[in-house]
Every structure is written in structure tokens, then in C-alpha cells.
Amino acid sequence: MLSKALIATLIFLVALALQIRLGNAFGGILDLALLTLVIAAFFVKLEVLLFLIALGVLILNWQPAASTELALFVGIPLFVFFFRQALPWQTWLNAMVSALGAIAAFYLFSSPSFVFENGAFVLWIGLLDIVFGFFLFSLFNYFHGEEAR
């Protein structure tokens, strides 16, 4: 039986590959890696989440120096991890609300003008995020069962 950390890593690597491969088709703004980290925050332990974040930073590495996007990529999943128990709904709804909030925060803080100039496109990406987020939640729930609390 594969360990839960290895399964989470494999799911994350597939999401990274999809983001890199499909990113060009959607203008380079697919956020599957961040979405996967936020969903994973409901299921994995802190050490695994930190490993996945570091792996994502090393693979995506937008810039050789720190940037707003990089700080958000690291900070948002950690924020969700530490405040996940404060959310009042069922785990699947908490994960979806957190995922959409994370993506919205990422774009609003990293590129607010893009969001306001391309509202319909951003809503389309949000819809894709919801679909992919449900798929991710189902995968993590199948392999991890109850969230790691």
C-alpha cells in the first residue's frame, strides 16, 4: 500500500504537469497547483503540505527572487491549513469555499487589474477550478479518508 504522503505527492505532481502543459492553452493562468495545495490542506499533515509547497516552488519557480505570487503560493495553503477547523460547514464545502477564496485572493493580490479587465475569463477559470476542485477533493477523500485533524 502506498503511503498517504506519496499519494498526495503523486496527485500534486499530476496537477503541476497539467498546469504546465495546459497553462499555455488558457493564457498561462491555470492555477491547478495552488488549488491542489488548498484541497490537500484538508487531508495531509503539516510536514507533507510543507513538502508539497516546496516542491511546487522548485518546479514552478516563477522568478529567481521572492515575489508577491510566490509569497501567496506559499502563504495561502498554510493559512487554509491552520484555519480549516474554524470553518463551519462539511469538509467538502469548506474545501470548495477555501479553494475559490484562495484563487480569488491569489489573483486579486497578484494582478488586480487583470481580474477587473477580464472578468468573464476569470469567471470561466473559476468554473474550471470548481470542477477540478471537486475531482481533487474526491481523490484525496478516496485515498486519505477523513481529513488530518
Positive or negative: CA dihedral 93, 97, 103, 106 = negative
Q: What is the pLDDT of residue 81?
A: 93
Positive or negative: CA dihedral 128, 129, 131, 132 = positive
Dump pLDDT digits (tens) for 33-78: 899 999 999 999 999 999 999 998 888 876 666 778 888 888 999 9
The pLDDT confidence band at residue 1, using thresholds 50, 70 and 90, is very low
Is residue 16 within a helix (H) or strand (E), and if so which, with residue range?
helix 4-23
C-alpha cell at 96: 470548495
Q: What is the pLDDT of residue 26?
A: 58
Q: What is the pLDDT of residue 46?
A: 93
The alpha-carbon radius of gyration of the chain (Å, integer) is 15
Three-state DSSP state, 3: coil
Q: Return the amino acid letter for 10.
A: L
φ, ψ for residue 65 (rounded to 5)?
Answer: -120, 170
* Closest to 28 in 3D by CA, of 98, 123, 125, 104: 125
Q: What is the pLDDT of residue 25?
A: 59
The pLDDT confidence band at residue 146, using thresholds 50, 70 and 90, is low
Q: Return the amino acid letter for 63.
A: Q
Is residue 53 within a helix (H) or strand (E), and if so which, with residue range?
helix 46-60
Dump pLDDT digits (tens) for 87-116: 888 888 888 888 888 988 888 888 888 778
C-alpha cell at 46: 503539516
Compute the distance between CA of residue 14 and CA of residue 136 in angstroms, rounded to an integer. 11
Q: What is the pLDDT of residue 123?
A: 82
Q: What is the pLDDT of residue 30?
A: 65
